[in-house]
Structure 1
Amino acid sequence: MLDEREALANEGSGRGMPFGMHGANTAELRDIAGRFTFRGGMVLQSASTLRGQIERIDWEGPDRDRFVDEWRARTDRALVDLGDLVERIGIHDLPRQADEQDDASAAAGGTGGAGVPDRGDVESGKSDGERRAHDTRVDDPDRHETVPDEIPNDEVAIDPYDINQQALGDCWALASIAAVAGTDPELLAENVQYDEASNDYLVTLYEDGEPIEVRVDGSFVYNDEAGAYEYAVGDDGMPNYASVYEKAIADHYGESYGDIWGGKPEEALALITGREIETQGFDPFLPWQQGATSDSIAGSIDSGQSVVLTTRNDLPDDSPIVGRHAYTVVDVRDDNSVVLYNPWGANPESGLTSEPGLEPGEVVVPADQLDTYFRSSSATK
């Protein structure tokens, strides 16, 4: 017999759901997730606008200095944290709840909701015009230059430091490629097969853990005016294994490089490895959630997992860490500081990059500064 309280709750819900149903309308969850993401971005934009207006006030003296210092330390920080929190709920938490509900419904023989929110995450702050400027089709012969010989793709050639992102806003994918190159180069080598007769590459990617094959040719976007390849290349300026993967990912998502401008590292890691991915925020929004720490990152690295960190959206221009960006985790030191690699192959000069012996693109972040610069950590399982 149906519990009376449950019957009343269902009757008053107005959702038209059958009595006894538990769970959520996943289409609505995803719709709300998009709204959270949008509203979080609005809060961050408001913080940026107010910050600029305050800095431009025609006001001098100690009172002005005290006011600005207090604004930066309290109000501005609170607004940025709020925007990050709301945006993270929309980008990570609500979609994950919807996915889990769909999985539970499928296991029970039911159906889940439809529709997914925008993939845009890191580097999504770029304008639509900038994104459209890179809507070059992966098969456009007028924009490509052919590499006639096989691009080395053995375990020696797959070097996590041999990636230069260049013009395309796909750090989410390239940082993930570098992370896997550092922990499982054999997988990347095995999943790219070269066809000498056609000069094509057959790349194995994964959807829901199942392998899929994407075929791309050996030509890559070339800028005639600059006399150089435009997107991911190695340190020598020539296409390499990362270029092949980048082209395959672009083809998979929509046949245009603009389709991979902005995205989520957890999505790229799953696409490249076929494994489950765990994403943790550095500031979990629910008290019982486990947040990312240097210890949790160290545990992932010690277990041979590939780890990528996503930065906060509103870091200042002079920050030593780039905002709306993704970094590959290289190592966690004994003092719990985290060594990261920037897929740009370089970093803004700062105290975090001035340590002798660092590779180009490496940066060292102390454990107590991780939540200042980063909002989430994604790791393969």
Structure 2
Amino acid sequence: MGRRLRASQGVESPALGPGAAGWREDRSALDRTRRPRQGVLGDCWVVAALLAVHEADPAAGRHLLAPGPGDTWAVTLYERRRPVRVLVDRTMPVTAQGRWAYAREAGAAPGWVGIVEKAAALHVAGSYRVLARGFGRSGLAVLTGLPVRTHLRLPPASSIDEWLRAGHAIVASTHPASPLVRTEHGPLPRDHVMAVVGADPVTGHVRLRNPWRPEDVLTVDARTFRRGFLSLDRTVATVRR
């Protein structure tokens, strides 16, 4: 399950990780308006960050990837704030039953999201398995090349609203005891990263999208936000281009 695949054009694929048993070509049309959705791989730090970037700039998918030579795609990621071009093909991990295993466009095949995740696995880790460990701030830095600030003291809704309106990408991370905190979607998952997509300065409510179910918006009050989340990470500038 840890083997790599070398495609016909000479482009290397990362080693497989948990939940994947093989590869299959994704021939679906790319729909970069679709939100990213996390698969069985525990790389919420990448997918939630990608979801936050897409929320701040719906055209982000067009900035991140472009057609490469042959049947490849060129994904622009960042290392120490410098752009790095990563070439990948569209062979994507599948389960033993042949279902798509990892990140994909919400309600669809891997598409543009799978391409970006595959590039991140290859460039950042060399393996999907290793990609299953990381922090939200790292995901934002890899995807945007912008400085990222971590807030261990969670900011008020008024500040979050201001940053979102300015086009900053924001994620929030839960902690090991977060399942004790209940929300309208049930207990919060432990050690999980979500995209912050809205905040109400009047009520103090914060709105989030979970990369497991990105179509839904989770709204929490200020107390629940403080109890259920450990930290907030944000780009210090807009991600819009």
TM-score, normalised via structure 1 length: 0.53
For each residue in 1:97-135, what CA deviation from the matched residue of structure 2 results, as whole angstroms up to 9, or x when unmatched?
xxxxxxxxxxxxxxxxxxxxxxxxxxxxxxxxxxxx7x4
User: Higher helix share goes to which structure?
Assistant: 1
Q: Tell me how many residue pairs correspond in the alignment.
A: 219
**Alpha-carbon distance, 1:330 to partner:** 1.1
Q: 2:89 aligns with which of 202, 214, 217?
A: 217
CA RMSD after TM alignment = 2.2
Match of 2:113?
242
**1:145 corresponding residue in structure 2:** 24
User: 1:169 corresponds to which residue?
Assistant: 42
Quote how far apart the aligned CAs of 1:270 are: 0.9
Matches within 5 A, 1:78-93: none
Give secondary structure in 1 for the equivalent of 2:37.
coil
Cα deviation, residue 318, structure 1: 7.4
Corresponding position of 1:188: 61
Distance 2:130 2:141 in 1: 18
- Please say if 1:328 is aligned against 2:191: no
2:138 aligned residue (267, 272, 283): 267
Structure 2 contact 178–229 (Cα < 8 Å) conserved: no
Residue identity opposite 2:163 in structure 1: S
Measured against aligned partners, the alpha-carbon deviations of 1:10-34 in whole angstroms (never above 9, x if no partner) come to xxxxxxxxxxxxxxxxxxxxxxxxx
1:25 maps to none
1: distance between equivalents of 2:14 and 2:191? 29
Higher CA-based Rg: 1
Q: Distance in 2 between matches of 1:296 and 1:251?
A: 36
In 1, Cα distance between equivalents of 2:139 and 2:204: 26
Give the 3 Å change call, closer, same or farther, for CA 194–214 of structure 1 in structure 2.
same
Instruction: Please give the alpha-carbon distance, in whole angstroms, between the structure 2 residues aligned to 1:254 and 1:364.
Output: 33
Aligned residue type for 2:119? A
The answer as to whether partners of 2:164 and 2:198 remain within 8 angstroms in 1 is yes
Structure 1 residues 230 and 136: alpha-carbon distance in aligned structure 2, compared to 1, 3 A threshold = farther
Please report how far the alpha carbon of residue 165 of structure 1 lies from its aligned counterpart in structure 2 after TM superposition: 1.1
Deviation at 1:241, TM superposition (A): 1.7
- In the alignment, is residue 201 of structure 1 matched against residue 66 of structure 2? no
* Contact kept? 1:232, 1:243, Cα under 8 Å: yes
CA contact (8 A) 1:339 1:364 kept: yes
Q: Deviations over 1:44-90 (max 9, x none)?
A: xxxxxxxxxxxxxxxxxxxxxxxxxxxxxxxxxxxxxxxxxxxxxxx
Question: Which residue matches 1:361?
Answer: 216
Higher RCO structure (Cα 8 Å, ≥6 apart)? 2
> 2:104 and 2:84 mapped to 1: Cα distance?
24
TM-score, structure 2 normalization = 0.82
CA distance in 2, matches of 1:273, 1:332: 22
Moved over 6 A (4+): none
Q: Percent of pairs identical after alignment?
A: 26
- Residue of structure 2 equivalent to 1:341: 209
Deviation sequence 1:217-257 (CA, Å, 0-9, x none) = 111001242x3100012233411221111111100123210
Q: Deviations over 1:133-188 (max 9, x none)?
A: 7x464356981101246x425xxx233xx332121000011000011001123343
